[in-house]
Amino acid sequence: MDLRHLRYFVAVAEEGHVTRAAERLGIQQPPLSQQIKALEAELEVQLFRRKPRGVELTEAGESLLEDARRILAEVEGALARARHTARGELGRLAVGFTASAPFHPFVTRLLRDFRSAHPRVTVTLEEMGSSELVAAVQAERLDVAFIRPAIPPAEGVALYDLLEEAMVAALPAGHRLATASRRPLRLAALAGEPFILYRRASGPGLYDAIVSACRAAGFTPRNEQEAPRITATLNLVAAGLGVTLVPQSLSGLQAESIVYRPLSAPSGLTAPIRLVARKSDHSAAARRFVALAQQAAHKRGTAKG
């Protein structure tokens, strides 16, 4: 059945007059009458009784009218949802992130701004290690992901640099270097200290950056403990098991048990936040999120400049 037949039928039923229905539809009266007759022939029922001054619905017509309105409304709704989805105004966005990324206000603000601008897009969040995140984006399990390290060229994946933040030393509150917490600390002062690092497989970028910076400062960090996530290293620092280096945005964690000290220049240590997304075959919502992230990063850089 042609949906046009249903639209014609509803117009005639609501107007109670073929000529007025034809004017409403913007067509001539004879073709409209022919279409109604064709619909009746297809259904093998009489839908209208002809009257001197119009038409009225038969019992079969009354039954069809309710369903016809519902069907047309569902079709219009489906078409509208398709248009909204194509424009990125509706749908789903799966966002991944490393353990430390959500602690930076840039990331949380970006997610909040996207939800505010696109309230009909369902946003889901998932935490993984950087390499897992890139693989999930490639496999289309995630649409976009926030990661820390740079990644080697990956097939079908684009990498967007968003920001760089300073790294700070995290020390147990009773540590000998925990005094004068606001004064910069030379990285070389941590030589010989037991280090707590997160597993390289979980965050190879920051892990390698820490080791390289320590070696440049004249020592190799003594890795006494490893944790599965960067945030878990702080629990071990709070327990007095060692020291670590973390992005500055994490310095609000375990504030009573940990003292955070900035590193003096040149430590060579920064913690980037980057966004990965597929180069193609991604949703309109993902494209809008990437564009919003780039715009926010540009504004942030301009404000700093």
Higher-pLDDT residue of 79 and 59 is 59
- Please give the pLDDT value at position 260: 94
Average pLDDT, the chain: 87
In which band, very low, low, confident or very high, does the pLDDT at 223 lie, cut at 50, 70 and 90? confident
Q: Does 91-162+272-304 match 3-86 at the fold level? A: no
- Please give the pLDDT value at position 304: 55
17-74 per-position pLDDT tens digit: 999 989 998 999 898 899 899 988 988 999 999 888 889 999 999 899 989 988 888 8
* SS3 labels along the chain: CCHHHHHHHHHHHHHCCHHHHHHHHCCCHHHHHHHHHHHHHHHCCCCEEEECCEEEECHHHHHHHHHHHHHHHHHHHHHHHHHHHHCCCCEEEEEEECCCHHHCHHHHHHHHHHHHHCCCEEEEEEECCHHHHHHHHHCCCCCEEEECCCCCCCCCEEEEEEEEEEEEEEEECCCCCCCCCCCCECHHHHCCCEEEEECCCCCHHHHHHHHHHHHHCCCCCEEEEEECCHHHHHHHHHCCCCEEEEEHHHCCCCCCCEEEEEECCCCCCEEEEEEEEECCCCCHHHHHHHHHHHHHHHHHHHHHC
Quick check: pTM over 0.85? no
Contact 296, 113 (CB under 8 A): yes
Higher-pLDDT residue of 155 and 219 is 219
Q: Into which CATH architecture does domain 91-162+272-304 fall?
A: 3-Layer(aba) Sandwich (3.40)
In which band, very low, low, confident or very high, does the pLDDT at 163 lie, cut at 50, 70 and 90? very high
Identify the CA nearest to 293 among candidates 276, 278, 269, 270: 276
Cα–Cα distance, 19 to 55 (Å, whole number): 10
Domain layout of the chain by residue ranges: 3-86, 91-162+272-304, 165-271
- pLDDT for residue 200 is more than 90: no
- Please give the pLDDT value at position 305: 44
- Please give the pLDDT value at position 5: 86
CATH of domain 3-86: 1.10.10.10
Q: What is the mean pLDDT of residues 187-199?
A: 91
Class of domain 165-271: alpha beta
